[in-house]
Amino acid sequence: MPAPKNTVRRPLLVASAVLLSTALTAPVALAAPKPSTSPSATPPAGMSTVGGARLGQAGTQVNLASGVPVLPKDLSARSWIVADAESGDVLAAHNAHWRLAPASTLKMLFADTLLPKWPKTTEHKVEVSDLAGVGPGSSMVGIKEDETYTVQDLWLGVFLRSGNDAVHVLSAMNGGVKNTVEEMNAHAEELQAVDTHVVSPDGYDAAEQVSSAYDLTLIARSGLQKKDFREYSSTVRAKFPGETKKNKKGKKVRGSFEIQNTNRLLAGDTDVPVYQGIAGVKNGNTTNAGATFTGVAERNGKVLLVTVMNPQKNVSNEVYKETAKLLDWGFKAAGKVRPVGELVRPKSATQTGGRPGPSASPGAAGGTGDGAVAAGSKPVASAAPGGGADGIGVALGIAGGVLVLLAGGAFLVNRRWPLPDLVRRRSRP
C-alpha cells in the first residue's frame, strides 16, 4: 500500500537536494576524453551519477519484479536508455553515462540552442564562406552558394536530411562555428548534460567530441518543449529549394526537390516499418559513433524517449530495430517497473522554482506561441508546417512548463517537466 503523501515529502525533499548537489558537482564534467571507438572498449568505472547513482554504473540497470516484462535479450548497443518523457523517470538503462561519439544526434543540441534566434521566414543568401569547414563525406541537403533560403528551409535541411551544409550556414548566421560551439556547450551545461562536449556543431567526428545516451535524451526532452523543434523533427517529407537556372526561353527559374526524413522509424524502410506513435527525433551515423538514434513516441497517453548508441550487430537499420524493441518494452513496463533514475531538469528550472530559463523555455522560434492547450483538453489536429511538409497531428493536450508544487511550499518534489502538445504522425496516403 502506498505511503500517505505527508509521510514522503521530507524524503523527497532530501533526495531532490542530494540529486541537485550531485548534478552540479559531478567531477566527470571537468574533462572531455576522447570517445570510445574501439569495439573492445568497456565503459569506465567512474561515470557521472547525474539523475541517480545507478545510472553511473556499468551494465544494464532495471528493477525487474513480478508483472514487469523482461527486457529484449538481443540488444547489442553499447549504451541505451528508456525514459518517460513527461515525468522524467528512467525506466531502464545500459551504460547510460558512457561518453561516446554522438554523430548527428548532436544536431538536437544545435537546434535546441539556435532555434529561438530567427523567425521561420528570415531569408539568408548563402556565401562561399558559409560552407567552409564542412567535413568530407558529410551528409548534405544540397545548399548552393549565392542562393537565398529561408530559415525554415535550413531547419528542414538539418532535421530531414541531417545536412551539415545547413548547419554551417545557420552557424555562419549565428556569428560563426566557434561562437555556435561555445553557445552549444553553455546550453549543455544549463541542461546538466555534463557528459557532452561539442567540437563541431554538426556532430561530424572530432577529437574529444562526446555525449551519452543520458545527455542526448535530456537534450531531446528540452528540444521537444519547442513547437518548431517538434514540427521539424516529426516532418516526414518536404520540398527544398533547388538551384536557379535558365529555362529554354532564357528566363531564370528556381524549382524544388523533395527531401525525406532519414529517421527510419518515422519514414519507414524495406526492413523497418513506421513505428506506431513515433514523433521524431534524430538519427546519426559516423565512423567513430556508428549508428545513433534518439526517438520519442506516444501510445495510449504515455510518451517515451529512447536513445540507442552504437549497436554492435552488423545488421541493416539495427539502431532502429533495437529502439523499436525498447519502446515496445517501455510501453508494456510503464506503470509497472520502478524507475532506476530520472532525467533532471535544467539548472534554471530548479533555480527559478520550476520554470526553465530563456535558453530552455518552451515556444517556437521568433517569439511565437508554442500552441500548448490546457491540461485535460482533447487532442486536436494541427496544421502542417510550411514548405510543403507532411501534416502532423497533436498527440497530447497538456500545459507546457506547468510543474506540481507542494501545498504551502516552493520546492518541487514531483519534478515533472511536461511536453506541450507533442506531435505524432498522422496516417499518410
Please give the share of the chain, as a percent, with pLDDT higher than 70: 72
C-alpha cell at 70: 523482461
Residue 20: helix, strand or coil by DSSP?
Answer: helix
Return the number of other C-beta atoms located less than 10 Å from residue 364's C-beta: 19
Q: Give the DSSP letter string of 96-121.
A: TT--B--GGGGHHHHHHHHGGGS-TT
Total count of residues recorded for the chain? 429
Residue 35: helix, strand or coil by DSSP?
Answer: coil
pLDDT confidence bin for 239, thresholds 50/70/90? very high
Global pTM? Answer: 0.80
Which residue in 184, 175, 119, 176 sits closest to 151, CA to CA? Answer: 119
Looking at residue 74, what is its pLDDT?
93
C-alpha cell at 407: 501545498
C-alpha cell at 106: 548532436
Checking if the pLDDT of 217 tops 50, the result is: yes
The predicted-structure confidence for 155-209, as pLDDT tens digits, reads as follows 999 999 999 999 999 999 999 999 999 999 999 999 999 999 999 999 999 999 9
Angle at 324 between CA 320 and CA 325, to 5 degrees: 120
Point out the least confidently predicted range of 173-187, 191-205, 246-260, 368-382. 368-382
Q: What is the residue type of 288?
A: N
Q: From CA 219, how far away is CA 228, in angstroms rounded?
A: 15
**Strand pairing category for 60-61 and 89-94:** antiparallel
Residue that the C-alpha cell 520546492 belongs to: 411
Which residue in 325, 305, 303 sits closest to 313, CA to CA? Answer: 325
Looking at residue 33, what is its pLDDT?
55
C-alpha cell at 414: 514531483
pLDDT confidence bin for 215, thresholds 50/70/90? very high
Looking at residue 412, what is its pLDDT?
27
